[in-house]
Every structure is written in C-alpha cells, then in structure tokens.
C-alpha cells in the first residue's frame, strides 16, 4: 500500500476532532472523503500531511513514518491542494513552477519548465499562463492549485474540496484529469467532496466521516443507504443511472 493511516487522533485545545481514524490507500486508487461540514475532513487531510501534529496514531508513507520525516521529504511524497489559497502577485506559470521546489537544484531546468507546461495544458490553463493569480476567478485559481500539486510529482495527492468553486463542466474535467493522473502514474489521491453523486461517479472507494471518526469504507457499488442517512441525517434512496449509483433524497 502507498499510504497507511492507523489510529490517527487529533484535538484542538483539548477538544477531540479526530478519533482513531484508520484506512489505507493503494497505488492507482482515488478515494473520496465524505461527511457533513465540521466533521473533520480538512483536519484529517492537514494531519496526514504533517501541517497539524496528531495526538496519537501513525501515518506511513509506504514504509516511512511521516511524523519522523522532514518537511522536504513530506513535500516530495504529498501534493496538498487546500480548500482556499491566498492569491499573491504571481503569474500562473510562476505559481505552478513553485510546485517544483522539492525537486529543484541550483537552477530551474528545462525539464521543470516542461512539467509546468504539461500541467497547465492538462487543466486547460495555457491561456492563463501570464495572468496574475489575483485576476483569476475562484474556479480558475482552484485549478492552478491543482496544477501546482501535480508538478510536485507526489506519490499521494491530498485535495480539500477541489471542485467547490467550479461549474459542472469544470468539475467533470478536473476530476477526469485527476483520475487519469492517478491511474496513469500509479499514485493515489484522497479528496474531500460534498457532492455525493460526483464521488460515486469518480472515486474507487468512499470513506464516510462523522464526528471525527470513520463510519464506513465502501466501494461505490456497495454503499448502503443507511450509512448516508446516519452520516448526513437525511434518508435517501440509491438508484442507478446507466450503471452508476446515484443518491436521491427519499
């Protein structure tokens, strides 16, 4: 397995936020982290990434203990896309190039520039390359953050609501691109999502989080309606459209 999380717990000022979270990711797997607002999804991603230090438990990057690794080692292993970023006075090309920082020597090489150009092209951002970040829409800026993570060439991508600012077409395009990267490069991705039907469509596995604890881990084809009712407090029916499960409030 590429990532193993075992018994992870975290508290803010003594108040438990994560309790004994355990799961793993395999190479080529895209997993969706699901649950209501305030249930700990962002905290979990930040704790896995080492931004927050857990109260207990472990995070293994393949065979390495992430908590004992240096920030540089973690930045080569994890590509983190936050829910929000602060636009600074950088153009898009340079902002994405910053994602190559874990791999840079004394200077930027031609290979680094090619990686940036490829990431921009994969997300249809070429025409924005020289535009400044503070001139972008929320959705465009979100795609830049993903491009920056992709050029890191991480083993695991951690994405916090990467589609929250995107319209329907761009949601589908981004997730299709992400899935292609995950499958084609034998990496893994863990992304928090609010849209259950999008998660059913693109994810290989669904992790349901409530009150800081994992309530269930399922393949999309095996999710029972009861788990959604338990986690979200809404009774639902799960129907199929063209073979894809869909959630419909009862």
DSSP 215-249: EEEE-GGG--HHHHHHHHS--EEEEEETTEEEEEE
Is the Cβ–Cβ distance between 96 and 148 less than 8 Å?
yes
Please report, for the chain, the start and end positions of each structural domain, with discontinuous segments joined by +. Answer: 3-249
pLDDT at 105: 66
Is the Cβ–Cβ distance between 41 and 214 less than 8 Å?
no
Separation of CA 96 from chain center: 17
**Long-range CB contacts (within 8 A, 24+) of 112-118:** 112/151, 115/151, 115/153, 116/147, 116/151
Please give the biggest Cα pair distance in the chain. 59
Around Cβ 59, how many Cβ atoms within 10 Å? 21
pLDDT at 41: 95
**Pairing mode, if any, of strands 64-65 and 78-81?**
unpaired
pLDDT digit string (tens) for the chain, length 250 residues: 899 999 999 998 888 999 999 999 999 999 999 999 989 999 999 999 999 999 999 999 998 899 888 888 888 899 998 876 666 778 999 999 988 887 776 778 888 898 899 989 988 899 999 999 888 888 888 888 888 988 888 999 999 998 887 888 888 888 988 898 888 888 999 999 999 999 999 999 999 999 999 999 999 999 999 999 999 999 999 999 888 889 999 8
pLDDT at 86: 64
CA torsion through residues 179, 237, 212, 6, sign: negative
Radius of gyration of the chain (CA): 18
For residue 68, report the phi and psi dihedrals to the nearest 5 degrees.
-100, 0
**Long-range CB contacts (within 8 A, 24+) of 121-125:** 122/147, 122/150, 122/177, 122/181, 123/147, 123/173, 123/174, 123/177, 124/173, 125/92
CA triplet 35, 37, 43: central angle to 5 degrees?
A: 80
What residues form DSSP beta bridges with 34? 208
What is 3-249's CATH topology?
A: Rossmann fold (3.40.50)
pLDDT at 235: 93
Q: Terminus-to-terminus CA distance in the chain, angstroms?
A: 38
pLDDT at 3: 95
């Amino acid at each position: 397995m590429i990532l193993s999380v075992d018994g992870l717990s975290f508290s803010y000022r003594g108040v438990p936020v994560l309790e004994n979270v355990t799961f793993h990711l395999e190479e080529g797997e895209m997993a969706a982290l699901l649950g209501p607002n305030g249930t700990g999804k962002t905290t979990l991603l930040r704790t896995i990434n080492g931004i927050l230090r857990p109260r207990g438990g472990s995070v293994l990057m393949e065979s390495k203990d992430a908590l004992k690794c240096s920030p540089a080692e973690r930045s080569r292993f994890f590509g983190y896309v936050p829910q929000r970023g602060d636009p600074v006075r950088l153009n898009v090309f340079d902002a994405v190039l910053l994602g190559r920082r874990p791999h840079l020597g004394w200077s930027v090489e031609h290979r680094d520039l090619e990686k940036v150009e490829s990431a921009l092209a994969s997300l249809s951002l070429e025409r924005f390359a020289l535009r400044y970040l503070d001139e972008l829409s929320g959705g465009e800026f979100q795609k830049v953050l993903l491009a920056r993570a992709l050029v890191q060439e991480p083993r695991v991508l951690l994405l916090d609501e990467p589609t929250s600012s995107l319209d329907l077409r761009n949601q589908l395009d981004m997730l299709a691109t992400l899935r292609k990267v995950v499958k084609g490069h034998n990496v893994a991705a863990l992304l928090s999502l609010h849209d259950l039907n999008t998660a059913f469509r693109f994810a290989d596995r669904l992790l349901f989080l409530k009150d800081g604890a994992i309530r269930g881990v399922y393949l999309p084809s095996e999710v029972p309606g009861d788990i959604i009712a338990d986690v979200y407090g809404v009774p639902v029916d799960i129907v199929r459209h063209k073979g894809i499960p869909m959630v419909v409030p009862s």
